[in-house]
Amino acid sequence: MKLLVTGGAGFIGSNFVRQVLAQHPGDEIVNLDKLTYAGNLENLADLKDNPRHTFVRGDVASSRDVSRVFRAHAFDAVVNFAAESHVDRSLHMGPREFIRTNILGTQLLLDAARKRGVRRFLQVSTDEVYGSLGPEGQFTEQTPLQPNNPYAATKAGADCLVRAAGHSHGLDIVITRCSNNFGPFQFPEKLIPLMIAKALANERLPVYGDGLHVRDWIYVLDHCAGIDVALRQGAAGEVYNIGAGYDVPNLQIVKRILALLDKPESLIEYVKDRPGHDRRYAMDSAKLQRTLGWRPAHPFDDALRATVDWYVQNRAWWERVRSGEYRKAYDTLYGWRDRKAP
Ligand code: NAD
Ligand code: DAU
């Protein structure tokens, strides 16, 4: 299968590209990524000589970049990871880039996929589109979309456009909605890598509000495995929730990280809450488990320990991406070039 993966230089996308190339020896991937602050070719350094992986620097919200890549390759499927992904940025820096990439970018990809007869379009979405839960219950695929922050609103908008492309134009679409991921190569702005980085530097760990907001955590490779099975075996037009059923308050995660690093809880600092902060997420992924046989394979404690170890061992990586230094360094370090589609 020949795949167009967008956003494959980011956290989840780079883990997905690596996993697909390892598990499907017949597959080829073209990886279209703009390399924003969150996209980093160091995440793919081990693949730079892999003939089944082609990197193209380009913008999903540019019709020129999108049509170039679709003219140059005949894809069997598109897996759309490309997004502005950080809730705090959408709140504090404004939603403009989120609207451009997450909504316009998705529509341009849908149009190109339809025009070129691509067999399947998988949209990588999020549990945030469902809004917030009360003290009981879980999100199912039937839960109405009630996004509460600008990031979530753009992801919900994209989901609606993907659904409409299937309904109106008969494009074969699948949407996956996953809970909070963690693992190697996550940009150190998100809770787990940020807390690890701050604890290692003996800095204050900023916990929003009372720290009792609940997120449902999944190891990134389990998410990637769920996307892969939905891509290959999911039914056209369906939505699949992906979650590992590990829903706990943020404070518990932060305390666990401190314990793993042998740092004191006095480093925790309660700070002003995120505006409109969703109180609780919990995913029901029974549909994916029942119909496609997917199961999370990485117990939370083992995966968190492995992730903390990875950040300890790869301090140079996160210090460099955090400072933006990799932008200057990646060509000389890894011999990468920004390759435009012909
Ligand atoms: P990320 O921010 O780490 O990576 C995003 C990637 O998209 C980067 O490589 C970036 O360069 C690229 N990109 C951004 N704008 C682009 C554009 N205009 N054109 C081309 N590439 C562009 O994000 P992530 O955490 O890996 O998330 C990937 C996807 O998964 C997103 O769609 C996100 O909504 C979804 N998701 C994330 C989580 C999570 O917990 N991180 C959970 C569920 C769903
Ligand atoms: O639920 C899936 C979503 O998970 C994805 O769609 C998003 O792309 C991804 O960024 C993530 O969104 P969150 O807002 O849940 O992730 P974040 O890591 O930013 O925050 C997790 C929780 O931790 C949230 O309740 C806010 C809190 N938090 C976060 C940061 C960065 C803090 O208390 N302190 C912090 O410094």
With cut-offs at 50, 70 and 90, classify the pLDDT of residue 323. confident
Q: How confident is the model at residue 327 (pLDDT cuts 50, 70, 90)?
A: low
Please give the C-alpha separations between residue 273 and each of 76, 88, 209, in angstroms, as whole numbers: 44, 11, 4
Ligand nearest to the CA of 182: 1
Residues in contact with 88: Cβ distance below 8 Å, sequence separation at least 6, in sequence order: 189, 274
The pTM is what? 0.96
Exposed e or buried b for every residue in 194-219, given b needs 16+ CB within 10 A? bbbbbbbeeeebebeeebebbbbbbb
Residue 60 near ligand 1, beta carbon < 6 Å: yes
Query: Does the pLDDT of residue 331 top 70, yes or no?
Result: no
Residue-level pLDDT at 324 = 72
Are 204 and 168 in contact by the 8 Å Cβ rule? The answer is no
Q: pLDDT averaged over the chain?
A: 94
Q: How far is CA 68 from CA 64, 112, 118, 181, in A?
A: 6, 10, 15, 32
CA pair distance 298, 222, nearest whole angstrom: 7
Q: H/E element holding 311? A: helix 300-313
Domains in the chain, please, with CATH? 2-182+217-242 (3.40.50.720)
Angle at CA of residue 266, ends 261 and 271, nearest 5°: 110
Whether pLDDT at 211 is above 50: yes
Residue-level pLDDT at 142: 98
Report the alpha-carbon distance of residue 230 to residue 241 in Å, rounded: 10
Q: Is 281 in the pocket of ligand 2 (CB under 6 A)?
A: yes
pLDDT band of 322, cuts 50, 70, 90: confident
List, for residues 234-274, the tens digit of each pLDDT value: 999 999 999 999 999 999 999 999 999 999 999 999 999 99
CB 32 within 8 A of CB 9: no
Do residues 78 and 121 touch, judged by C-beta distance below 8 A? yes
Q: Given 28, 33, 59, 128, which residue is catalytic?
A: 128
Share of the chain above pLDDT 90, in %: 93
Share of the chain above pLDDT 70, in %: 95
The span from the CA of 236 to the CA of 331, in Å, is 41
User: Chain-centre distance of CA 110, in angstroms?
Assistant: 19
Q: For residue 183, give Cα distances in angstroms to 8, 80, 118, 194.
A: 15, 20, 31, 12
Closest ligand 1 atom number to CA of residue 12: 26
Q: What is the per-residue pLDDT across 163-210, written as a single tens digit (0 to 9) for each?
A: 999 999 999 999 999 999 999 999 999 999 999 999 999 999 999 999
The 10s digit of each residue's pLDDT in 10-47 is 999 999 999 999 999 999 999 999 999 999 999 999 99
Query: Residue 149 and residue 49: Cα distance in Å, rounded?
Result: 40
Contacts with 338 (C-beta within 8 Å, 6 or more apart), sequence order: 35, 57
Ligand 2 touching residue 52 (CB < 6 A): no
CB of 179 within 6 A of ligand 2: the answer is yes
User: Tens of pLDDT along 284-319?
Assistant: 999 999 999 999 999 999 999 999 999 999 999 999
For residue 189, which ligand has an atom nearest its CA? 2
